[in-house]
Structure formats: C-alpha cells, structure tokens
Structure 1
C-alpha cells in the first residue's frame, strides 16, 4: 500500500511512540488525524510540544478509546488506522487490571468494529514483546508461545487475538505490529531508560532500580516508527503479526552502567524492592527475531544502541523536558 496522500488516523497520538509516528507519517505525505485522550486540561500530550507549523497540519480529535461512538466518529472518512492507544505500565496493571481490559481489549474491539463497518483499507494494531513472556528460545519469532505474565501482557494478548479473529472471521485487513523495547525522547518515566537518565541528570548518586538481570531488545523510537511505516506498506503482511526487533539483547544492569558512564561515572545502582515484579511475572529475557520484517519489507535498524541513548540523553538534558519528570518517586 502506498501511504502518501492517505487519510490516516493514529490512536494514542498524544503518547510516546504515537507522537513520533505522527511526525513520521507527515514526512511520508499522509493526511494525519490524531486521536488524543480527552481530558479537562485540554492537553494533547506530546503533540503540545510540536511547533505550530506542524500542529496546524494535523487534525486533532479528542476522545476516549473505550467509547465506541467516539471511535467510530474519529474513524469516519479515514483510509488507514494505526491503533496505538493503550495502557502500558506493567506495575499499574497489578493495581488496576480492570482498566487494562477496558482500554486494551475493549478499545481495540471498538477500533475493529468501526473499521469493519466503515470499510477501512488497513488497520495496524500495536502489540508488545511482553506477550511472549520470558523467552523459551531465541531469537523470539512470531511463532513463539504467548505467555501472559502480567495483567498488561494478558490484555495485549487478548487484543491481538481479537484482531486476528476479525481477519479470519470478516476478512478485515488487519496487521499486528509488535515492537520490542522502544526507547527515546518523550518516553514515560515508567520505563527503565528514562528512570535511569532522569535520576542521573537530577544529581542522584544512588540509582534506584528493580531487578537488573533481565535482558531486553532495545529499539530507538525512530527505528520503531520506520518499522510501522514499512509494515503498513507491505500488503503481504495483512492478516499476520510482525516483530520490530534489533535481534540483540542487553541486561538492565549493563544498560544502567552504560548510561552511568556517559552521564556520571561516580553513581551506583541500588536495588529497591518496591520496583521488583512478582517473581513469576518478571520477563527475564527478550531477544527478538527480525527475520520476518526483513523478508517482507525494506526496514533496517538505522540507530545503534549507543547512538539512540546519546540522542535520548541530549533530549532529557533540556530543562523544558526534564522538568516534566518526577525522578524522586517511583512511577508505577
């Protein structure tokens, strides 16, 4: 599918990956409509940081992904939907699992129902590497068993299954996009890299973390959104799921030490029990396969881990960005 000139809706456009995808699809020549979460502050999330020259080219729709009527209204007249809206924090999913079912499963169902009724040309549903759980083999390909090790991952497995069922039952043109561990500017403090960077930049000498032994396959956000675009263009992937992964891994501890060496070599890591996942819930190894995306698209990783980390650190060094993060508390 050629995306240039298409009317595209991005749900979760106000969030981390969503806001970067907005920028990328504008570059691609799309007519972008951004679905942002309605709130009484009239905040458009990270889109508020965009220059007016960019914002003026975007159609903003404020709504709630849990509301089927609002979702249908937002999707009317759209060609392609990139569905990213979700609750993503794993620790909060232990606290409030109901909200993950409502947002991640029912929200996805709302998108799929409207897409079916409105004859949307393509729907891309965003999954997560967390659906795989701790690797049973590596690299983890799309055939790997799904292991719901947290309420969050269970909700995303449910959303993936609903999406697949709509392809099989109604021939809805759905593709499931499964990024591994994306990082970069604008990422939530609930993720490990912003947690480490913000503590260091705020002068902390003891960096509070949970378990430092798990490994992750880390993707810089610009590589992730390039993956979304490449997968959207690949009609052969309709009805399938597709990883975006670097096919590499690094432990949380090694990652933290790499950031410490760049920012403040005198700092040290301290384990904080409140940050530990329940033992059976911790995903100890994520190491994704990029074979499928390499076979069906021209996507390639453009940013090394070090390059991505340095760009991320420079973004956080700016006072107007760093002040948005509460480095002195544990963000669940």
Structure 2
C-alpha cells in the first residue's frame, strides 16, 4: 500500500529511522531521508543511494522543513536524541528536536492541505517514557495509562516531557485543523544499525565482538519490554497504514517471546551469542557479586494487534541475528 507514495523520514540515520528507510524502499516508496549531517546520511545509506527512490536531505527538522519537498503522503518524525548522555548534556536540543521538529511537520501538512487539498499523514514517534517510571512491583500499561509522569527534577525529563508535549501537539492539530496524525509509542527497540547508538546495549555488543567481558556494576536492574527492530517496523507500518487518525498505539513485545528482560539479562544473551557464533569466551562480570532483577513496565500491544500487528521474534533469536550481522561486517 506504500508503493509509489512520497514519504519523508526525519532522523533517518537513527536505529529505527534507518531501518524504516530501508523497509520503505523495499515497499517501493519514494523516500526522502532527512538528517543533520549529509556525510552520515551517505554513509548509512551507501548501498541504497543508487536505488532511484532515495533522496537524502541535510536539514534539522527543528529548524523547519523545506518547501522543495512538495506534496507528501506520509511524514515519519523519528528525529530525537536517545542516549542518556546526550539528553543530560543537551537538554534544550532534546526538547527542540522533539517539540519544534513535530510542530514543523504538523505545520507543513496543515499548509499542504490548505494549499493543495492533499492530506498527508504524520506518524509521531513517542516512547514508553510517557507512562512515567514503573512502580517497584511492575506494571502493564495500555494507551490510556498516561496519568503518571517523571519528576521534573529527573535527568530524563527533557526527553520524557517533550515526548508527552509532542503527543499533545499532534492531538491539538488533529482536533483543530484536522491534520491526520497517528502516534506510536515504542518500547525498548534493539536491532542492527549501520552506526551503533550510544546506549548500554550497543556497548555490550562492542565488548562481545572484541572478545571482552561485559561488566555490570549496578546492584539492581529493572526488566523492560524489548522489541526486535524488524518487529517494531512491522508495527510501525501497520499503525501508519491501518491506524485510526488521532489515536496512539503501543509498538511493543507485550512481554511476549521472552522479551521481558533487564539490561543485565540482555548482556548474558549477548555473551552467549558471541560465544556460540564467534567461538569467543565472553563472560558477564558482576563486581558487586550479583545483579538483582526487579519488575518493570510492559506495554500492552493488544490495540496494535487489533489492526494487524503481531510479534514474531524471540529475544535470543533477535540478539543472535544482531551479533552475527555485526560480526560478518567486522570480518
């Protein structure tokens, strides 16, 4: 259903954005990949540049969209910092990327509809942070459970609150101007990315690929809802095509396929995968003796399932595929 559609992806070089661009090209769409650095765009999509359907644009969505994009069928607003260090060190940029970027996308589609009559659809990338921190006993949340929020003193507040405001903006433009919007809330997405994000998961991958032990210093870790990138893309496109305007959808494992696990448990699977596929002897080291596993948050994905989404990839299978992919490139 996306064949021949003209689609803009902001934040195109990120984990989900880059995977989405590749999937859209496979579907036969015309894709404009937008990012803040042309060299990085060309590096990430070097194997796709000759496809004839990919156009790279160097631009920060928070600074506005160019009119040269002409009429768009879809915009996927994926641009947003995700690493804890970047959120802490560049909180203003984090807020701007989420809120200003989303508003510029909404304004573009509003103006496009007023000038040409063509209604494009914006898919807003949100996250599980809109549900606030998980209580100690753990919790399964559905799309209406947004009544809790992080403390304003939290280091993550520039990210979590700007994601909430991005959703509020999308809802406001839908109700006041009838701009077609769909919100997707991702749980923790893991997968292959041409350039590894600066998160603990990928630091574990780097250690394993180099044959080094993985060190877990935290005495306690909460389990979380993890979803493999390819499954996340299935859910994303399902919401983009079948989702109802103005609605939000959890794109998550729902705890299925063994995907409810903490970072330390992910580290154990990464080490096992490296030892299995690379003949390594990687161990997970706990300097403090052990790491207690706490209950965390699971995102109920039944609403997405009602429009055709399903989880296919077990956690160990997904992580194994990632390790093998990075290993083959390293060789």
1:43 aligns with 2:40: yes
Q: Provide the residue aligned with 1:67 in structure 2.
A: 63
Q: C-alpha separation between the residues in 2 aligned to 1:320 and 1:45? A: 20
Q: 2:183, 2:247 within 8 Å by CA — same for their partners in 1?
A: yes
- TM-score, scaled relative to structure 2: 0.84
1:147 aligns with 2:149: yes
1:27 aligns with 2:26: yes
Q: Provide the residue aligned with 2:321 in structure 1.
A: 311
Per-residue Cα deviation, 1:272-325 (whole angstroms, up to 9, x for no partner): 9xxxxxxxxxx9722110110011x2111121111110111012213549xxxx
Segments ≥4 residues shifted beyond 6 Å: none
Q: 2:84, 2:199 within 8 Å by CA — same for their partners in 1?
A: no
Task: Out of 148-157 and 312-321, give the one that drifted further.
Answer: 312-321
Once the two structures are TM-superposed, the CA of residue 133 in structure 1 deviates from its matched residue by 2.4
Once the two structures are TM-superposed, the CA of residue 106 in structure 1 deviates from its matched residue by 1.1
Q: 2:274, 2:282 within 8 Å by CA — same for their partners in 1?
A: no
Correspondent of 1:255 among 251, 266, 278? 266
Unaligned runs of 5+ in 1: 273-282, 322-332
Q: C-alpha separation between the residues in 2 aligned to 1:206 and 1:246? A: 25
Pairs aligned (count): 303
1:302 aligns with 2:302: no
Q: 1:14, 1:37 within 8 Å by CA — same for their partners in 2?
A: no
Trace 1:92-241 onto structure 2 (pairs within 5 A): 92-119=86-113, 120-136=119-135, 138-145=139-146, 146-148=148-150, 149=154, 150=156, 151-186=158-193, 188-208=196-216, 210=218, 212-235=220-243, 237-241=244-248
Per-residue Cα deviation, 1:146-173 (whole angstroms, up to 9, x for no partner): 4235121122112111111111221111
Q: 2:189, 2:229 within 8 Å by CA — same for their partners in 1?
A: yes
Q: C-alpha separation between the residues in 2 aligned to 1:298 and 1:188? A: 30
Q: 2:217, 2:287 within 8 Å by CA — same for their partners in 1?
A: yes
Once the two structures are TM-superposed, the CA of residue 212 in structure 1 deviates from its matched residue by 5.0
Q: 1:199, 1:207 within 8 Å by CA — same for their partners in 2?
A: no
Distance change in 2, residues 1:122/1:262 (3 Å): same
Once the two structures are TM-superposed, the CA of residue 207 in structure 1 deviates from its matched residue by 2.4
Q: C-alpha separation between the residues in 1 aligned to 2:251 and 2:219? A: 25
RMSD: 2.4
Q: Provide the residue aligned with 2:74 in structure 1.
A: 80
Unaligned runs of 5+ in 2: 114-118, 276-280, 289-293
- TM-score, scaled relative to structure 1: 0.83
Q: 1:19, 1:46 within 8 Å by CA — same for their partners in 2?
A: no
Q: Provide the residue aligned with 1:292 in structure 2.
A: 303
Q: C-alpha separation between the residues in 2 aligned to 1:206 and 1:223? A: 27
Q: Provide the residue aligned with 1:280 in structure 2.
A: none
Q: 1:185, 1:316 within 8 Å by CA — same for their partners in 2?
A: yes
Q: 1:215, 1:285 within 8 Å by CA — same for their partners in 2?
A: yes
Q: Provide the residue aligned with 2:285 in structure 1.
A: 269
Distance change in 2, residues 1:26/1:270 (3 Å): same
Q: 1:16, 1:46 within 8 Å by CA — same for their partners in 2?
A: no
